[in-house]
Amino acid sequence: MSALLSINGLSKSFGAVVVADETSFEVRAGEAVGILGPNGAGKTSLFNLIAGTLRPDAGRIEFADSDITETSAARRCKLGIARSFQVPQPFGGMTVFENALVGATQGADLSGREAESHALTVLQETGLLPKANVRAETLTLLERKRLEMARALSAKPTLLLLDEIAGGLTDAECGALIESIKRIHAGGTTIIWIEHVVHALLAVVQRVIVVDFGRKIAEGEPGRIMESREVKEIYLGVDPDA
Amino acid sequence: MIEWANAVLQGILLGGLYALFAAGLSLIFGVMRLVNIAHGDLIVLAAYLGLSTSVTLGVHPFVALLIVLPLMAAVGYALQRGLLNRTLGPDILPPLLVTFGLSVIIQNALLEGYTADPQKLSAGPLETASIPLGELSVGVMPLLTFGIAVAVIAGLQWIFYATGLGRGFRAVSDNQEIAQLMGLNKAHVFGLAMALALAVTAIAGILLGIRTSFDPSIGGGRLIFGFEAVIIGGLGSLWGTLAGGVILGVAQTVGAKIDPGWQLLAGHIAFLLVLAVRPNGLFPRVEH
């Protein structure tokens, strides 16, 4: 399979803080990739760069064989990139259904019945259907996290960026989440997932990329990566020789 | 007694016009947190465009609206995309300064183009027509103005809460960054909001021009009435804006009944009283 997303020499810094340092990697269509790294390693910034809310200082981003480095966030969404946020940011004053409808009409360019039925399907998939007519600001944290995913899915993405959606969930909730992400992936959606809950991540992804200080420090098959020296040292904070 | 009842009735109907002044202001602030200092002058601009259209083509001002309304909407979209979008950001000062400058420019351009002579739109026999209501007599024009105001507010309410365009407005108003990530082009949505606001302004300007004589300098006063109506009603509430207009209108006509010199003062006092008792206005939007 060809690369759906291709990142080439991407760099971004805020003053002395480097959030991306000549990062390069590719994600093939249909793949599920996990991103690991300590807090402040630049994982979320990487998502901001891919989704278009942050402009890189240098480097190129290609999506579906076209250069999107200078493309607006709104346009990228229409092209098929959608993301969820670690700290849920729903449209608080709108209902859950309306939140999903924004993505269905704007991101996926659906209209009328089609948009409504897609929004409902997404709410069904994420278990939010009973809350469809509730204002989003009244949701609990778990429901807000689900809404993050629902809203991203409502835009019918080909590439879904998930930012720490398993954090703070109980084991049962986490299990349900893994199942629904697996279903979404099986449906053909390419996924990049940032997650600290490693067992959840490893249950879904085929490949892991490890970043620290904005640099990609390891990349490969999950089992091998988790055993690697760099990951143990930098990510898990243990000295393998001790 | 009947005179007081008449004053209140006239005030309610006048409130419709004030609500129309305020609706555009409220919409723009609600969607993009932009305080448009030039709003009053844009109302006056619409009145002058109505004057030119109806004189040149020899048509009734209401017919002129068919040209002025889309024209003002186009001006709104161009103004937003070409100028105002560049001023919006974390700092609230630039849009204030730029719209203040715009206000000065519009006033002086009107002065240059139309002189300082007061003008009036002629609506023909409609202006003097009235309907007897018990012992009172209600002017058809004020009644029509109020009816149009209610229809405009209802229309805006419908656009906001029942259409995709309104959903876009609310999404951008709620969280600009996320709205863009969901595929909404903020610059375009803001342009549409300003186009809609100035379409309402076109209606307000024509009705103002039929009701009273106008000259290039009166924009500031209309801006104040609009602001007062928005704030009395509560920010973000369209029906509240109508109520705010009515309260302001009634205060003015009742004040004028006590003493003709008290008309404006009474309106401002009513505004201050509401601010003192309910700083968020009478019908603030429940969220936040």
Percent with pLDDT over 90 in chain A? 55
B157, B158, B190 from B22: Cα distances, Å: 14, 17, 18
Domain annotation for chain A: domains and CATH numbers: 1-80+157-242 (3.40.50.300), 92-156 (no CATH)
Chain-chain contact of A89 with B183 (C-beta, under 8 angstroms): no
Chain-chain contact of A92 with B178 (C-beta, under 8 angstroms): no
Tens-digit pLDDT string for chain B (288 aa): 888 999 999 999 999 999 999 999 999 998 998 999 999 999 999 999 999 999 999 999 999 999 999 999 999 999 999 999 999 988 889 999 999 999 999 999 999 999 999 999 998 898 889 998 888 889 999 999 999 999 999 999 999 999 999 999 999 999 888 999 898 999 999 999 999 999 999 999 999 999 999 999 999 999 999 999 999 998 878 999 999 999 999 999 999 999 999 999 999 999 999 999 998 888 887 544
Nearest C-alpha neighbor of B16 from the set B157, B170, B175, B200: B200
Q: Of A91, A97, A99, A161, which to mutate for an interface test with B (greatest number of B Cβ within 10 Å)?
A: A91
Residue A224 CA to residue A198 CA, distance in Å, equals 14
How does pLDDT run across A183-219, given as a tens digit for each residue? 999 999 999 999 988 888 989 999 999 888 888 888 8
User: What is the side-by-side order of every strand in the sheet holding A190-194?
Assistant: A81-83, A159-163, A190-194, A32-36, A207-212, A215-220
Biggest alpha carbon–alpha carbon distance for chain B: 60
Chain-chain contact of A135 with B170 (C-beta, under 8 angstroms): no
How does pLDDT run across A29-62, given as a tens digit for each residue? 999 999 988 888 888 899 999 999 999 999 999 9
DSSP code of A187?
T
Is A122 part of the contact surface with chain B (CB cutoff 8 Å)?
Answer: no
Residue A29 CA to residue B220 CA, distance in Å, equals 59
Provide the pLDDT for residue A242: 52
Q: For residue B170, give how far its alpha carbon lies from the nearest alpha carbon of chain A (Å).
A: 8
Q: Residue B118: phi, psi to the nearest 5?
A: -65, 140
**Whether the model pTM is above 0.90:** no
Q: Which long-range contacts (CB under 8 A, 24 or more apart) does A185-188 make?
A: A185/A32, A188/A30
Is A116 part of the contact surface with chain B (CB cutoff 8 Å)?
Answer: no
Measure the CA dihedral B267/B273/B275/B276, to 10°: 160
Chain A neighbors of B181, CB-CB under 8 A: 51-53, 73-74, 77, 82-83
Cβ pair B23, B153 in contact under 8 A: yes
Around Cβ B235, how many Cβ atoms within 10 Å?
17
Chain-chain contact of B175 with A102 (C-beta, under 8 angstroms): no
Instruction: Classify residue A142 as exposed, middle or buried by CB count within 10 Å of its CB (0-12, 13-18, 19+).
Output: middle
pLDDT over threshold 70, residue A1 = no
Domain annotation for chain B: domains and CATH numbers: 2-115+138-277 (1.10.3470)
A215 beta partners: A212
Q: Counting one residue from A and one from B, how many pairs have CB atoms under 8 Å apart?
A: 80
Q: For residue B159, give how far its alpha carbon lies from the nearest alpha carbon of chain A (Å).
A: 14
Q: Of B182, B192, B288, which to mutate for an interface test with A (greatest number of A Cβ within 10 Å)?
A: B182
Nearest C-alpha neighbor of B241 from the set B183, B128, B156: B156
Cβ pair A86, A152 in contact under 8 A: no
Around Cβ A7, how many Cβ atoms within 10 Å?
24
Residue B84 CA to residue B79 CA, distance in Å, equals 6
> Which ipTM did the prediction report?
0.80
Nearest C-alpha neighbor of B203 from the set B76, B36, B31: B76
Chain B residues with CB under 8 Å of a chain A CB are 164, 167-168, 170-171, 173-175, 177-186, 285, 287-288
Provide the pLDDT for residue B1: 81
DSSP code of A27?
E
DSSP code of B82?
I
Which of B167, B186, B288 minimises the CB distance to A102? B167
Residue B126 CA to residue A106 CA, distance in Å, equals 45
Around Cβ B1, how many Cβ atoms within 10 Å?
6
A194, B161, B227, B279 from B37: Cα distances, Å: 46, 27, 10, 21
Kindly report the three-state secondary structure assignment for every residue of B10-57: HHHHHHHHHHHHHHHHHHHHHHHCCCCCCHHHHHHHHHHHHHHHHHHH
Chain B neighbors of A102, CB-CB under 8 A: 167-168, 171, 179, 182, 184
Nearest C-alpha neighbor of A160 from the set A54, A18, A63, A87: A63
Contacts of B105 (CB under 8 A, 6+ apart): none
Helix axes B164-174, B140-162, angle to 10 degrees: 70
Around Cβ B177, how many Cβ atoms within 10 Å?
15
Write the single-letter amino acid at B241: T
Residue B71 CA to residue B75 CA, distance in Å, equals 6
Provide the pLDDT for residue A239: 61
Chain-chain contact of B167 with A101 (C-beta, under 8 angstroms): yes
Which of A51, A93, A103 minimises the CB distance to B170? A93
Residue B146 CA to residue B151 CA, distance in Å, equals 9
Average pLDDT (A150-159) is: 94
Characterize A166-202 residue by residue with b for buried, 16 or more Cβ atoms within 10 angstroms of its Cβ, and e for exposed.
beebeeeebeebbeebeebbeeebbbbbbbbbbebbb
Query: Tokens representing B11?
Result: 């005030």
Report helix, strand or coil for A43.
Answer: helix
Chain-chain contact of B181 with A135 (C-beta, under 8 angstroms): no
Query: Tokens representing A178?
Result: 């893994």
Chain A neighbors of B186, CB-CB under 8 A: 74
Around Cβ A151, how many Cβ atoms within 10 Å?
34
